[in-house]
A and B are shown apart, each in its own frame.
Chain A
Amino acid sequence: QKEVEQNSGPLSVPEGAIASLNCTYSDRGSQSFFWYRQYSGKSPELIMSIYSNGDKEDGRFTAQLNKASQYVSLLIRDSQPSDSATYLCAVKPPRAGGTSYGKLTFGQGTILTVHP
């Protein structure tokens, strides 16, 4: 089982619709969860972080976290063609051996296409 799993897509939605991106993770003790957007040929850009169960909204983006189900999602409302990109889910695993464990584990990414 992969540590962080995402549907690779592509996910295609019409302009103005809601895009729903999903991610599951295997390590129940994971602490922090992030969504990055990556345009082709560019580096990942942080768009959302979430640390506790529930919803977190920022503009057109809403991140949802359910630690019991080991599930995190990203909703993009009023999708625009400029939202077309690969969306990466990243998870910070729990501390190991009492040391700070800073690395992120990334999913393979979901390709989102928003068509006019």
Chain B
Amino acid sequence: GAGVSQSPSNKVTEKGKDVELRCDPISGHTALYWYRQSLGQGLEFLIYFQGNSAPDKSGLPSDRFSAERTGGSVSTLTIQRTQQEDSAVYLCASSSTPLYEQYFGPGTRLTVT
């Protein structure tokens, strides 16, 4: 079946602009996660959605970052007033339940100029 999909695959934006990144999880997966991977850095957790529960936003680095998940499926990560330090690969993952394996999408490479 189809895996996790993300769009766009690449995004170049100017400092100060807002960007939206989209994630479409594996069908039937109730848990959805956003991570960030900066050049030479490890994977950093950002936010986690599970069903209709309130999201775990503990990893969001600043209030410029927000995310929503509509209808328990597609998720959008929004970064307002982008900064150069926001440049990274943003990865989305989903799992059938929070306990089990997470499968990653191909990522969105964000470059802030």
Question: Which residues from A are CB-within-8-Å of B91?
Answer: 43-44
Given contacts A43-B106, A103-B56, contact A31 B99 (CB under 8 A): yes
CA distance A93 to B106 in the complex (A): 25
**Docked-complex contact A103 and B43, CB < 8 angstroms:** no
Whether B83 is near chain A, meaning CB under 8 Å from some CB there, is no
B107 touches A43 (CB 8 A): yes
Given A92-B99, A107-B42, A109-B42, residue A102 in contact with residue B48 (CB < 8 A)? yes
- Chain B contact-residue range equals 20 to 34
Does A46 sit within 8 A of B, measured CB to CB?
Answer: yes
Nearest-CB distance from B104 to chain A (Å)? 4
Tally A-B pairs: CB < 8 A.
58
Q: Place the interface of chain A in its size category.
A: 20 to 34
Beta-carbon contact of B104 and A45 below 8 Å: yes
Q: Does the CB pair B101–A34 fall under 8 Å?
A: yes
A66 interface hit (Cβ, 8 Å)? no
Q: Kindly state the separation between the CA atoms of A19 and B53 in the bound complex, as whole angstroms.
A: 41
Contact with A along B98-113 (1 / 0, CB 8 A): 1111111111000000
Instruction: With both chains docked as a complex, state the minimum distance between the C-beta of B80 and any C-beta of chain A, in angstroms.
Output: 23
A102 touches B101 (CB 8 A): no
List chain B residues, Cβ under 8 A from A80. none
Contact B43 A88 (CB under 8 A): yes
